[in-house]
Each structure stands twice: as structure tokens, then as C-alpha cells.
């Protein structure tokens, strides 16, 4: 194989020049890359760990929220049996809402009362299970410190528990509230190797690593401690009570990267060598034309093989070839210019309607790459302050301003006037404005100041001259020096993008119905800003105002005599709306009226009674449904569970839970008397999933079992 000496020489040169920096770069890159990769990995793991710790903190806060919701005194439990039922219902309800809980227990040491959501405990069983661990957890902690902490973790019978004073955060607690959690669900980081600390004590250690290593890693705070081949990642909760230490096995974590690093070095060397070979080969290939030209000149006799003037003669030959190339380019430009003139003549005939058959002139234009296959056509005229250079049209620069779906064909009608036919395959006429501004920017880039006069879009090729006449009329008669673009018809009026705030109006209706003043006012502000920012006719803006007026009138109290005067005043202002600004001012008036109306309603005892009647009606309608629960009532009326209970008890003197129980028992009495349904069917019919609970509640209310009541009524 005969390898050219030039190729060998190039390879050696390139290899010496490039190999040293490339090899240095490879080693430097892999060293920095692995450090960066390790740092990034640790940061990601720390971020993931902090997120899991935040989830753990949220789970603890949920327990604190549950502890805050349970508010039944020991005196009520001793004096009122329904309070005990309410308490057990609350415990069960709280447990059902939190799937991480296994049990909730409330213990009163003075009265030896123990209540649980699921199981049954006595004082002896409670003390046997939780007494030792509770004493250990509370040893060395004063009552004030415990009240400040709220929840304290402890282990009992191999289960993770959290104990809180009852009532929580009270100065004088008289009971204990114990949460038994399902550790796998409660601990978001249970799938990792972790150690969980509370204060200075290690609660859980699932790492299998020495305790002193974990203690050392924890003492460093939020950091990474490396002890080959393990890395310890430590982070603390915002309050500082809990901290978490996890373990990474660096050999396993970075094994693939170490392997990839070796592959990367080997691949880099191979690629470097191949690059040198290819570079040498193409360098030799680039030399071949020079060599062939030299041989051709030798054969023609222009230079001699051993002539000392070979190089200048070759350069002279190359210059001659450059002149020939320039001559060919001039011929091409002349041909393009002739085609441009012919295309301009055809476009002028099309614009001036000087043709017999539209298809004939269309085919002629296609020969000059003018394709009129669009759905819409628009003609515009540019008024220039100076004549563009001839090269400007040969390069067809305005053609490249077209957006996707648009085409632009231009012709210079006179020294200071350009005609342009714009085609579009879609009806996105609102994009015309941005297209025109881009064309004006291109002209400004050439140092040409221009104004643009635009006809209306047409859909047929034989109607293009109509758009041209409209643009020409704007050109001749429109005298608005402040405008750069003059439309015969605004693109917005041709194909407007309609806006109607239906979703906002629906939200406003819901907010007024639920008496949510802040939300209703915020929605009105949103509608008002949209009316001012969108392109709307005043009639549509007026329609929106009528909708708002109708919704707000539903919130006005017709019991008050002045409300009719207010409605008449608003109707008068509605009839005077002429612009979008008038509509926005009317909405501002509606905001003030809605604010005053809702405020009056909320401060009125009459309105409060009306709401309570609606709550009672809702309960009467839904209490027999299987999935009905007290929280659904609170959600429907946008109230918290505590707020609902307080308002209900203040108006009716009975808790909502007891009220629902009484309703169910009354309906059960009727079914027991008038039908032969089984006890289980009656329980299911009135909304009890467990017939034993129904029997228990029935006996509590009537002092009789359902069967005893049925027999007594039929005697």
C-alpha cells in the first residue's frame, strides 16, 4: 500500500500538536467530572432527604392538628353519655382521615377513663402497655417543656407512638392523648437506610452502622461525612427536635461511573487517533486539487515541471478561474433580475385585473415561483423614504419575513413604492400585524423608513385586485402620520379572537352563593382587568355586566326596602354603558355593593339563622347516604369542623353529631313500626355501615333495643 508522504507528514504534525492537549484535557475532565458528579449526587440525596424530612414534619403537624380538634372535657364525659359517644366518633373520624394512624387513645389518669378509636382499653391495660415507656419518655422533662413540645415520641410494645398532653398546649393538662402510628406509612424515608434522632437520643437505627459513626455524622448538622466506603448524609428538621442520618455505599453508588470513566478515557484516545487520521486524510484530499491543477498547467505548457516560478504561475491561473467564476455569477444575477422583472409585470397585471383568465396568469406566475395556493390573500403597499438597492429585491429579503403558513411576494412599482401580495393557508389574520412589523424592521435594517397600507383579506385569486384597490385608497387618502401601519379593515375586525369570561362568571356565582366575599371581589377584579385588556365590542362588555348584575342581585337581601332602590339605580347605570371603560367602572360599583351586602349579611343574626336552616336542610337531605359524614357538611358550606359544631350548638343547643344520630333514630323508629325490615337492613337504610353501632346508639337514645322497641309498639 502506497501511502502518500503528504498524508504521513500531516498525521505526524497533527498528532504532536493535538495529542498532548487532548490527553491532558481528558484526564483533567474525568477528575473534575467525578468530583462534580459526587457533589451533585450528595446534593440530590440531601435534597431528597430534606423533602422526606419535611413530609415527616407534616405528618407530625397533622397529629398536632388532630390533637387540637379534640375538645371534650372530663366533666362532660362523666356527666353526659352523649359526650362519650361524640368523643369516640371524633376519635374514629380523625383516625379514618389519617391513613398513617393505627390507633388514637385518650387517657384521663384522675378518673381512670380510657377512650380509643378502635380497641377497648382499661386503666390497667393502658398502664401495662404505655406506663413504663411513658415514664421513661417524660423523665427529666418539666410540664412546661412538655407542653411546649406538644408531641413526644416513644416506643411501646415494638410500636412507634406519639404522646401529647390533653388538651394540647394547655397550661393545666389533665390527660394524655396517644397516637399509635403505622411506622411504614408514617416514616416517608422507611425505604432507606436511616437513623432517626429525637433531641440527643437515637429513636430508630436501621443502618446497621456503628452508633458512634452516626452520632459523629449527626453532630455535623446538614452535611456529608465520608468514611470509605460509606457516606453519611445528615439533616435536621426546622424545629430542631428531629434529625435524620442516612447512609450511602459509595462503591455501589459510583461503580457505574468508575466503569464509565475508564470507557471514556479509552474512547477519547480512540476518537483522538481517528480524528488525526481523518484530518490528515482530508488535508491530503484538499491538497489534491492543487496538485492536479499544477499537473494540468504543466501539460498546457503554462508552467514547467521544474520551473522556479511555478507557484506564481499557479496563483495566476487560480485568479483567472476566479474571474471566470465572477463572470458566471454576474450572468446568474442578470438572469435573476430578468426573472424578477417578468414576475413584477405579471404581478402588476394580477393587481390591476389586466387578464382574461385567472388560471393562465396563475400558471405563468408559477413559472417564476409565485405560488398562489393560499386560502386568504392580502395586498399591502409600502411608502418608502428612499429607493432600495437593486440587490435588496434580488435577494428577496421581504420573502423571508413570512411566518409559517404565510407567503410574501413583492414588486417595486416605483422608486418609492413597493407592492406585496401576502398569502396564508389559514385564517390566522391576527398574525398579520406581527408580520407587517417584521417587514418594517427589515426595511429599517436597510436604512429605509416606511409606512404600510393594507387592504382587507380576500379568499379568491380573482379578488386580489379588490384588496389592492382598498390598499391604494388608504395610500392616497389616509393621512395619519403617527401610524406606521394603516388598515383598510383591522385584522381584529376580520377574524376576532372572542373572549367571554364564562368560567369567571361561574366562579363568581359559586362565591356569592357561599357568601365568600373575598373570593367574589377577587373574581370581579379579574373580570374587570380582562374587559380592559381584551378586544371586545361594548355590547359584549355590556352583556358581561348584565350577567354580573344578575349574580350580585341574588346576594342582595330583598327584605330590606332600600335594596329595590339599589337595584333600580344599578339598572339605570347599566343602560348608560357605552364603552369597555364604562363596563369596568360598573364592575367597580358591583364590587363595593357586594362587599357591603355580604358584610351586612354576615353581621346579621337573621342571615346566620338562614344559614343554619340551610345546614339543617342539607343534613335532612343527605344523612341517610352511606358515605355521609359531618366533614362533608362543613366542606359544603365552606366551614371548619369546629366552626360548624360551635355554630350548630349555639343555635340548636345540640352538637351536629348528636342531631344526626337523633334524626337517624327517629327514622329507624318509623321503619321499625311500619315495616318488617330486618335490623341490619334498617341500619343500612339510615346510613349505618355497622348494625352493632346502630343498636348501641338506638339503645342509648331510647333505652331499648330495636327489637324491644318494635315489640312494644306492636303490642
Could you tell me how many residues make up the chain?
715
- The least confident of 159-163, 233-237, 455-459, 595-599 is 595-599
pLDDT for 489 = 59
| Average confidence (pLDDT) over 610-619 | 83
Whether residue 414 has pLDDT greater than 80? no
Question: Burial level of 604, CB count in 10 A (0-12/13-18/19+)?
Answer: middle
pLDDT at position 149 over 70: yes
525-534 tens-digit pLDDT = 888 887 776 5
Inform me whether the pLDDT recorded for 639 exceeds 80: no
Q: Which residue has the higher pLDDT, 191 or 318?
A: 191
Residue 47 has pLDDT above 80, yes or no: yes
Q: For the structural domain made of 335-494, what CATH number should be given? A: 3.30.70.1130
pLDDT on residue 600? 45
Given this model, what pLDDT does residue 130 score?
82
| Residues 413 and 419 sit within 8 Å (Cβ to Cβ) | yes
Q: Report the pLDDT averaged over residues 199-212.
A: 81
Distance CA 168, CA 152 (A): 12
Sheet order of strands, 376-384 included: 406-414, 417-424, 376-384, 450-454, 485-487
* pLDDT higher than threshold 70 for residue 690: yes
> Is residue 561 pLDDT above 80, yes or no?
no
Q: Which fold would CATH assign to domain 70-191?
A: Beta-Lactamase (3.30.450)
Mean pLDDT value across residues 193-214: 82
Task: Report the Cα–Cα distance between both ends of the chain, in Å, rounded.
Answer: 122
pLDDT for the residue 678: 92
Element holding 105 (H helix, E strand): strand 101-108
Give the helix, strand, coil percentages of the chain, each rounded to 5: 60, 15, 25
Whole-number pLDDT of residue 316: 63
pLDDT tens string 266-286: 777 787 777 777 777 777 666
Higher per-residue pLDDT: 448 or 169: 448
pLDDT band at 312 (very low <50, low <70, confident <90, very high): low
% of the chain at pLDDT higher than 70: 79
Which percentage of the chain shows pLDDT scores above 90?
1
pLDDT at 480: 62
Is the per-residue pLDDT at 493 higher than 50?
no
Q: At what angle do helices 5-69 and 255-300 cross, to 10 degrees?
A: 150
pTM as predicted:
0.36
Four-point Cα dihedral 383, 388, 393, 394, nearest 10: 170
Question: What's the average model confidence in pLDDT over 445-472?
Answer: 85
Helical H runs in 170-210? 183-186
Q: How confident is the model over 102-109, as a mean pLDDT?
A: 85
Nearest alpha carbon to residue 378 among 453, 440, 438: 453
| Residue entry with cell 397529629 | 63
| Domain ranges for the chain | 5-47+254-289, 70-191, 198-251, 335-494, 502-603, 609-714
Is-contact 123 175, C-beta < 8 A?
A: no
Q: What is the widest separation between alpha-carbon atoms in the chain?
A: 141
> How high is the pLDDT of residue 490?
44
Q: Between the CA of residue 464 and those of 393, 399, 578, what are the distances in Å?
A: 22, 18, 37
CA dihedral for 436, 441, 443, 447, sign (positive or negative): positive
Q: What average pLDDT does this structure show over 450-477?
A: 82
- What CATH architecture is 609-714? Orthogonal Bundle (1.10)
Phi-psi region of 150 (alpha: psi -120 to 50; beta: other; left: phi over 0): left
Band of pLDDT at residue 491, cut at 50, 70 and 90: very low
- Per CATH, 335-494 and 609-714 having the same topology is answered no
Better-predicted residue by pLDDT, 60 or 336: 60
Q: Which of 185-189, 281-285, 600-604, 678-682 has the lowest mean pLDDT?
A: 600-604
Q: pLDDT band for position 430 (50/70/90)?
A: low
What is the average per-residue pLDDT within 465-469?
82
Res 560: pLDDT: 46
What tens digit of pLDDT does each residue of 59-96 get?
888 888 888 888 777 777 777 777 778 878 888 888 88
Residue 19 has, within 13 A of its CA and on its CB side, a CA count of 12
Mean pLDDT of the chain: 77
What's the whole-number mean pLDDT along residues 399-420? Answer: 76
Look at 361 and 398; give whichever has higher pLDDT. Answer: 361
Amino acid at each position: 500500500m502506497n501511502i502518500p508522504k503528504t498524508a504521513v507528514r500531516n498525521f505526524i504534525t497533527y498528532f504532536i500538536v493535538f495529542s498532548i492537549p487532548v490527553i491532558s484535557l481528558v484526564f483533567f475532565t474525568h477528575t473534575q467530572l467525578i468530583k462534580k458528579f459526587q457533589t451533585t449526587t450528595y446534593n440530590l440525596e440531601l435534597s431528597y432527604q430534606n423533602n422526606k424530612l419535611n413530609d415527616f414534619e407534616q405528618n407530625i403537624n397533622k397529629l398536632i392538628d388532630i390533637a387540637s380538634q379534640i375538645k371534650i372535657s372530663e366533666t362532660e364525659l362523666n356527666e353526659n353519655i352523649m359526650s362519650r359517644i361524640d368523643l369516640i366518633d371524633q376519635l374514629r373520624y380523625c383516625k379514618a382521615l389519617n391513613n398513617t394512624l393505627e390507633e388514637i387513645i385518650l387517657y384521663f389518669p384522675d378518673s381512670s377513663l380510657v377512650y380509643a378509636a378502635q380497641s377497648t382499653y382499661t386503666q390497667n391495660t393502658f398502664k401495662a402497655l404505655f406506663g413504663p415507656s411513658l415514664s421513661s419518655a417524660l423523665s427529666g422533662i418539666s410540664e412546661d417543656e412538655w407542653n411546649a413540645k406538644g408531641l413526644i415520641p416513644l416506643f411501646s410494645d415494638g410500636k412507634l407512638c406519639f404522646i401529647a398532653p390533653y388538651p394540647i398546649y394547655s397550661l393545666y393538662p389533665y390527660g394524655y392523648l396517644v397516637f399509635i402510628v403505622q411506622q411504614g406509612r408514617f416514616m416517608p424515608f422507611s425505604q432507606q437506610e436511616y437513623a432517626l434522632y429525637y433531641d440527643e437520643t437515637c429513636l430508630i437505627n436501621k443502618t446497621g452502622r456503628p452508633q458512634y459513626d452516626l452520632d459523629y455524622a449527626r453532630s455535623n448538622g446538614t452535611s456529608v461525612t465520608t468514611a470509605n466506603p460509606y457516606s453519611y448524609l445528615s439533616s435536621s428538621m426546622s424545629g430542631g427536635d428531629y434529625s435524620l442520618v442516612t447512609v450511602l455505599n459509595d462503591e455501589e453508588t459510583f461503580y457505574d461511573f468508575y466503569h464509565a470513566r475508564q470507557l471514556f478515557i479509552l474512547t477519547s484516545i480512540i476518537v483522538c487517533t481517528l480524528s488525526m487520521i481523518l484530518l490528515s486524510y482530508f488535508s491530503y484530499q484538499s491538497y489534491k486539487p492543487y496538485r492536479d491543477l499544477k499537473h494540468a498547467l504543466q501539460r498546457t505548457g503554462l508552467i514547467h515541471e521544474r520551473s522556479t516560478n511555478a507557484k506564481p504561475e499557479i496563483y495566476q491561473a487560480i485568479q483567472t478561474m476566479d474571474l471566470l467564476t465572477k463572470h458566471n455569477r454576474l450572468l446568474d444575477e442578470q438572469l435573476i433580475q430578468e426573472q424578477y422583472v417578468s414576475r413584477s409585470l405579471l404581478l402588476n397585471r394580477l393587481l390591476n385585473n389586466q387578464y382574461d383568465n385567472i388560471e393562465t396568469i396563475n400558471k405563468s406566475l408559477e413559472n417564476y415561483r409565485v405560488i398562489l395556493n393560499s386560502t386568504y390573500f392580502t395586498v399591502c403597499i409600502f411608502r418608502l423614504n428612499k429607493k432600495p438597492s437593486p440587490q435588496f429585491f434580488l435577494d428577496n429579503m421581504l420573502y423571508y419575513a413570512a411566518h409559517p403558513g404565510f407567503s410574501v411576494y413583492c414588486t417595486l412599482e416605483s422608486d418609492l413604492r413597493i407592492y406585496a401580495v401576502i398569502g396564508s393557508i389559514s385564517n390566522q389574520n391576527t398574525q398579520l400585524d406581527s408580520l407587517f412589523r417584521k417587514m418594517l424592521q427589515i426595511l429599517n435594517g436597510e436604512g429605509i423608513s416606511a409606512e404600510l397600507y393594507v387592504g382587507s383579506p380576500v379568499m379568491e385569486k380573482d379578488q386580489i385586485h379588490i384588496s389592492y384597490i382598498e390598499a391604494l385608497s388608504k395610500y392616497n387618502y389616509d393621512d395619519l402620520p403617527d401610524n406606521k401601519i394603516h388598515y383598510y379593515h383591522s385584522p381584529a375586525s376580520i377574524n376576532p379572537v372572542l373572549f367571554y369570561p364564562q368560567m369567571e362568571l361561574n366562579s363568581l356565582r359559586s362565591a356569592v352563593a357561599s357568601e365568600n366575599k373575598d373570593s367574589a371581589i377577587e373574581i370581579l377584579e379579574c373580570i374587570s382587568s380582562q374587559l380592559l385588556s381584551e378586544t371586545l365590542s361594548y355590547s359584549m362588555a355590556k352583556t358581561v355586566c348584565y350577567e354580573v348584575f344578575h349574580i350580585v342581585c341574588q346576594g342582595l337581601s330583598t327584605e330590606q326596602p332600600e335594596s329595590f332602590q339599589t337595584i333600580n339605580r344599578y339598572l339605570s347605570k347599566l343602560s348608560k354603558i357605552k364603552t369597555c371603560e364604562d363596563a369596568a367602572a360598573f364592575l367597580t360599583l358591583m364590587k363595593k355593593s357586594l362587599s357591603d351586602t355580604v358584610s351586612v349579611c354576615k353581621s346579621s343574626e337573621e342571615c346566620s339563622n338562614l344559614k343554619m336552616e340551610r345546614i339543617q336542610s342539607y343534613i335532612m337531605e343527605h344523612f341517610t347516604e352511606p358515605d355521609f359524614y359531618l366533614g362533608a357538611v362543613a366542606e359544603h358550606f365552606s366551614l371548619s369542623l369546629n366552626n360548624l359544631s360551635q355554630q350548630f350548638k349555639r343555635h340548636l343547643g345540640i352538637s351536629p353529631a348528636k342531631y344526626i344520630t337523633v334524626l337517624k333514630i327517629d327514622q329507624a323508629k318509623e321503619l321499625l313500626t311500619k315495616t318488617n325490615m330486618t335490623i341490619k337492613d334498617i341500619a343500612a337504610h339510615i346510613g349505618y355501615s355497622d348494625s352493632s353501632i346502630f343498636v348501641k346508639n338506638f339503645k342509648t337514645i331510647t333505652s331499648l333495643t330495636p327489637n324491644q322497641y318494635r315489640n312494644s309498639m306492636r303490642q
